[in-house]
Amino acid sequence: MCQGFKASGIHAKIKKKNAKDLGLIVSDVPAAVAGVFTKNQIKAAPVLLDMERIQSGVCCAVIANSGNANCCTGEQGIKDAVRMAKAAADKLGVAEEMVLVSSTGVIGQFLPIEKIESNIPQLFDALSSDGFVDFAESIMTTDTIPKKISRVVEVAGKSFAITGVAKGAGMIRPDMATMLSYVCTDVEADSSTLHELLTDAVNLSFNRITIDGDTSTNDTVLILANGKSGASLNDAAVKKAFKTALEEMLIELAKMVVKDGEGVTKLVEIKINGAASDEDAEKMADTVAHSPLVKTAFFGEDANWGRIIAALGRSGVSLNPDAIDISFNDIMLIKNGLWCGADAEEEATKVMKLDEFEVVIDVHLGNGSSSCWTCDFSIDYVKINADYRS
Amino acid sequence: MCQGFKASGIHAKIKKKNAKDLGLIVSDVPAAVAGVFTKNQIKAAPVLLDMERIQSGVCCAVIANSGNANCCTGEQGIKDAVRMAKAAADKLGVAEEMVLVSSTGVIGQFLPIEKIESNIPQLFDALSSDGFVDFAESIMTTDTIPKKISRVVEVAGKSFAITGVAKGAGMIRPDMATMLSYVCTDVEADSSTLHELLTDAVNLSFNRITIDGDTSTNDTVLILANGKSGASLNDAAVKKAFKTALEEMLIELAKMVVKDGEGVTKLVEIKINGAASDEDAEKMADTVAHSPLVKTAFFGEDANWGRIIAALGRSGVSLNPDAIDISFNDIMLIKNGLWCGADAEEEATKVMKLDEFEVVIDVHLGNGSSSCWTCDFSIDYVKINADYRS
């Protein structure tokens, strides 16, 4: 259990349906904080506010809502975000700058701030050290399951805990992936070290997943460290163990986000090997991972490798068409740019029926490699996104 | 009628279903020829062959098949493309280098070359000056209608004709759009002038449309000019009229391609005005036009402008979020980055129920502008592409 943190999630009637839509995370003591935010130039009001407030490096609480993104809401939006944070800060008895705020949902409607303010007492009443699943539920939009994982790490005679939650669903792509993710840890840390470790971990996880290639205006990943465990990142062994745990947990959360993407039936890892550079490999992996034709073939469980080849060919990376191998898990379907035959295709098609599999592509140009996680493009993706606002 | 050209299309059993799959265009006399081809690095065998042969600037015939792309077929693929051209050249009694060849369909399977060779007599028997619709049918894959337009232009006491055919359907995006398009004209021209005019026209038409963001390995646009009308591009008035007609016709064909895209129910023009430069405008138009979230909202007839704003924000172009206007046809829905209210949205939603409409975006940064044509992303798109090979 992550010491000194409590969380909650309640229904404040921001969403029409009866589902949790307002959440709170509180640290008993001021925590070191770091964050990474959407690179979309259109940033929601809470993102703009958090980017400013996080400069102080400390934070006592995060308040978040779903059902409304408070984005493209102009000055009124900023005022509402400030009011939302202030409502929590007042109740907590701390300066309003010590509270961060997130919103997710429909863009362009004003936040129903009175509903949030009037539900502050219930939100605080619900706080519990077991409240992270409730919090994770409160930030869901078209997600179907709350995403929360915890880990206790023992190292050098000490132990610390990390708890992470995330929400995703649509608008997921590299250069910010998860719309919202929060990590709480009782390790002792300064905010600049936290920022460095968080950035590295996000680059390995949330920035390597894609659902539909769109990037949200509200993407936010925050990490809070309150030092309650007594284990400190100043201890090299603790720092190393923390870094590893954080990366593994964010990768796990990122994969949970893809698997719970809108209409997703399959989680597919695209691995590129043998590229001239890691950058080239990343470009190829991203192009394959984003191709609607590749993704609909995944949905159709069709080992349509021609679409993969075509995506590689337009990725902007120099290729030798006669030196491309493609495998589905350990079934090699293409060797030196040519089809390995009907038997191989039959086996590859079996692989595609799995919930999770990998497509391994070797372009035989060098030692560069990269991988990313993608998903299939299903009929339900279209249904969900055609109907989302109605 | 385009003098001196004949065309045909027959069923040669390359496709399993009983539909035309082999086509031929013949000019009575050697024609000047120019072409533009896919920028995908993975190029199909017929594309590689045509790129080489077109250097001569003359051509007597084009033979094309659907049902098999002859791509990723290695040396065998090149040999088959050469045989396919030779079969037509022999029958026609011209050098084999005077025949160009195109293929479209599934990638990675060897061409059933014997079926093509054995059907050459029937293919020639079917040749007719009215055969362009049959030809257009013979190159269809998941297209639902053959795309053919003709125009006769009178200028300076002379007249000339242009006939264009195209096939599209999937894998349509800028930097080659239509998988295959052929333009025949009886104007007199040299191949370098043809190439210049064709490139300009393609940049205004096929390179400004998108269906799913994928680029084909087989994309080809060819133009043949046989001079039979007596009107020459050396006459400035003829050249001007020809340029205008060619551009208008390719735009019309490009729009037909989008409208007949896989599962498409709507043709939408994305117009960007007020950008700092035309290049910036093009980037923004392309990003909006490719966004799956925007395209599913079109399908859902949901004026979800937040998704448009989010796409603009990740287009890589500097923006002022508070100076963005968005209209659906003449209904302004967003003014200075803010929503114009429920009445405007109701009117915009009515616009979205049309088969064709435009989204006009003004970013108030300068005089740059660009537009492109896109379509909605429908349930049928996914169905068609999940099942395409089965």
B84-to-A116, B76, B222 alpha-carbon distances in Å: 71, 12, 18
Number of Cβ within a 10 Å radius of residue B144: 11
Query: Chains A, B: CB contacts under 8 A, how many?
Result: 205
Q: In a mutagenesis test of the B interface, which of A37, A39, A40, A41 is the best target, namely the one with the most B β-carbons within 10 Å?
A: A41
Opening angle at CA B122, ends B118 and B125, nearest 5: 145
pLDDT for position B128: 98
Interacting residues of A336 by C-beta distance below 8 A, sequence separation 6+: A322, A323, A324, A325
Are A107 and B310 an interchain contact pair (Cβ–Cβ within 8 Å)? yes
Chain A closest-CA separation from residue B264 CA (Å): 13
pLDDT lower than 70: segments of chain A: 169-178, 210-215, 384-385, 387-390
Collect all residues of chain B within an 8 Å Cβ-Cβ radius of residue A339.
72, 108-109
Radius of gyration of chain B (CA): 22
CA-based max dimension of chain B: 70
A166-to-A36, A66, A256, B55 alpha-carbon distances in Å: 14, 13, 9, 57
ipTM comes to 0.71
pLDDT for position A212: 54
Are A42 and B302 an interchain contact pair (Cβ–Cβ within 8 Å)? no
Of B69, B313, B377, the CB nearest to A40: B313
Distance of CA A62 to the CA centre of its chain: 17
CA distance A328 to A334: 10
- The active-site residue out of A104, A141, A178, A374 is A178
Collect all residues of chain A within an 8 Å Cβ-Cβ radius of residue B107.
304-307, 309-310
Q: Could you give phi then psi for residue A150, rounded to 5 degrees?
A: -135, 150
pLDDT for position A1: 78
Collect all residues of chain A within an 8 Å Cβ-Cβ radius of residue B334.
72, 108
Opening angle at CA B21, ends B18 and B22, nearest 5: 135
Collect all residues of chain B within an 8 Å Cβ-Cβ radius of residue A337.
72, 74
The residue in chain B having the minimum alpha-carbon distance to the alpha carbon of residue A307 is: B107
Chain B closest-CA separation from residue A59 CA (Å): 28
Residues of B that are catalytic: 178
Are A41 and B72 an interchain contact pair (Cβ–Cβ within 8 Å)? no
The residue in chain A having the minimum alpha-carbon distance to the alpha carbon of residue B170 is: A293
Q: In a mutagenesis test of the B interface, which of A42, A288, A317, A376 is the best target, namely the one with the most B β-carbons within 10 Å?
A: A42
Chain B closest-CA separation from residue A217 CA (Å): 6
- Provide DSSP, A286-303: HHHHH-HHHHHHHHTT--
A235-to-A58, A232, A306, B3 alpha-carbon distances in Å: 21, 6, 51, 85
pLDDT for position A111: 96
Of B43, B175, B299, the CB nearest to A382: B299
Are A40 and B299 an interchain contact pair (Cβ–Cβ within 8 Å)? no
Q: In a mutagenesis test of the A interface, which of B212, B307, B346, B384 is the best target, namely the one with the most A β-carbons within 10 Å?
A: B307
Task: Tell me if residue A199 is catalytic.
Answer: no
CA distance B14 to B69: 11
Q: In a mutagenesis test of the A interface, which of B314, B325, B383 is the best target, namely the one with the most A β-carbons within 10 Å?
A: B314
CA distance A353 to B170: 24
pLDDT for position B354: 95
Of A42, A291, A334, the CB nearest to B214: A291
DSSP bridge partners of B267: B356, B375
pLDDT for position A175: 36
Are A170 and B69 an interchain contact pair (Cβ–Cβ within 8 Å)? no
Are B379 and A379 an interchain contact pair (Cβ–Cβ within 8 Å)? yes
Domains and CATH numbers, chain B: 5-259 (3.60.70.12), 267-387 (3.10.20.340)
Collect all residues of chain B within an 8 Å Cβ-Cβ radius of residue A212.
292-293
pLDDT lower than 50: segments of chain B: 171-178, 390
CA distance B290 to B374: 8
Are A385 and B310 an interchain contact pair (Cβ–Cβ within 8 Å)? no
Q: Which amino acid is at B331?
A: I
What pTM, to 2 d.p., does this model score?
A: 0.79
